[in-house]
Amino acid sequence: MSVESSRAFLQIAYDSPELKQQLKAVTGTQEIVRLGLRYGYTFDVPELMEASSSFTGAPDEAPKGGRRRRPEPGGDTPSGPLHHEYRLDDLPGLEDVIDRLPDLKVMPSSVDLDRFQAAFREEDLRSTAKSPADPEFQAWHETMMRAHWRDPALGSGAPRRDFHLVNLDEHVHHPGYDRYLEAKHRMVRTLEEFFGSEVRFSGSLWYPPSSYRLWHTNETQPGWRMYVVDFDEPPADPADTSFFRYMDPRTQEIVTLGERPRMVRFFKAEQDPSKLFWHCIVNPTSRHRWSFGFVVPDDWMTAVARRI
C-alpha cells in the first residue's frame, strides 16, 4: 500500500468519466479504498487522506476525502415552505428507484446490534424534544461539541452520541456490499435523468429500532437535499412511526413530520446563521428505517413539476 498508489487512483478518477460517475455514489473513505482495489490500486484510508490533501488534478473540485470550497454565506431570507414531501410512487420516472430499494435496505452482518443497542442514551434522545433556540440546549450542545460528542471517560474509541444509527457506507466487507453499491450507482443515474443535472449521494443510513440523529444543521454542506425514506414493513398504526423534526429559522417554530413508507423529502441546508436549518430524526419504533440522501440541483422543483 502507498500514497503513490492513492495519488494514481485519484488522477484516473479525475480523468475518467466512468469512474467520476461511480464516485457520485460513494460517501465513505472505506468505499473509495474498495473502489480503488477494483481498479488495481491498493492503499488505505490514511494514505488516501494524505494523497487527497495534495492532489491538484481538480483545483475546484477535490475528490472525496479532500476539501471543497465553501460557498460564501448570504442570500435572501427564505420564504415559503421549508420542506416538501411526496410519495415515491407518485413521481413518474423514479420507478427504478423503487426497484433498487430492496438492494439498498441492507443490514450488514458486520454490525453488532447488541453493542449498538447498548450505546443508546435516554438523555440524548430527550434532547430531540428541546428547541435549538433554548439557551439550555445551546449550552449542552456546545459542551458536547467540545467533547466531539464522546464521553471523555470512555476515550476516543467511544461511539459518537449524536449518531445513534448505522452509516451503511462504513460497512464494505459484508456479502451484500457489491449489489448494494451497484444499486447506488443505478440510483444516481436514474436521478440524474430525472433532474437533468448532476446528483450525488450524501448518505446511506440505517436506523434500527430506538435510533436517532440528534439536532444538527448540515451547514458545512449547504444546498438542497433529497431523502428517500423506507421501512422494513409499514406500521400497523400510522401514528406509530418515525419522525423528522425541524426548527423554522424564521419563527423558531418546531415542526414534527411523521413518516410513511416509500416517501421522498426535500429541504435546504443553509450556512447563514439566521437561516440554519436545525433538524433531527428519531425512530422510536420496533421497525427498521432507512434513508438515502442526495445532493440535488437547486431547480429540482421544476423537474418534479414536469412529472406530476
CA distance 296 to 201: 9
Do 144 and 236 contact (CB within 8 A), yes or no? no
Backbone region of residue 148 per phi and psi (left: phi > 0; alpha: psi in -120 to 50; beta: other values)? left
Residue with cell 430492496: 102
Instruction: Please state the separation of Cα 297 from the chain's center in Å.
Output: 16
Backbone region of residue 40 per phi and psi (left: phi > 0; alpha: psi in -120 to 50; beta: other values)? left
pLDDT along the chain (308 residues), means of 10: 76 80 80 78 76 62 37 48 95 96 96 95 96 97 93 80 96 94 97 97 97 96 96 89 97 96 96 96 97 97 91
Name the grid cell of 37: 482495489
- Quote helix, strand, coil % in the chain, to nearest 5: 35, 20, 45
- Domain 83-115+162-307 maps to which CATH number in 3.40.1130, 2.20.28, 2.60.120, 2.60.40? 2.60.120
CA distance 207 to 205: 6
pLDDT of residue 78: 54
CA distance 148 to 250: 29
Q: β-pairing, 254-258 with 243-247?
A: antiparallel
Tell me which residue of 32, 15, 34 sits closest to 23, measured CA to CA: 32
Tell me which residue of 3, 9, 11 sits closest to 41, measured CA to CA: 9
Do 27 and 64 contact (CB within 8 A), yes or no? yes
Do 260 and 198 contact (CB within 8 A), yes or no? no
Do 281 and 308 contact (CB within 8 A), yes or no? no
Tell me which residue of 264, 97, 293 sits closest to 187, measured CA to CA: 97
Q: What angle do CA 88, 196, 36 make, to 5 degrees?
A: 90
Burial category of 103 from C-beta neighbours within 10 Å (exposed 0-12, middle 13-18, buried 19 and up): middle
pLDDT of residue 64: 41
Domain ranges in the chain are: 3-53, 83-115+162-307
Do 221 and 202 contact (CB within 8 A), yes or no? yes
Do 231 and 288 contact (CB within 8 A), yes or no? yes
Residue-wise burial string across 262-276, b where 16 or more C-beta atoms lie within 10 A, e elsewhere: bbbbbbbbbbbeebb
pLDDT of residue 1: 56
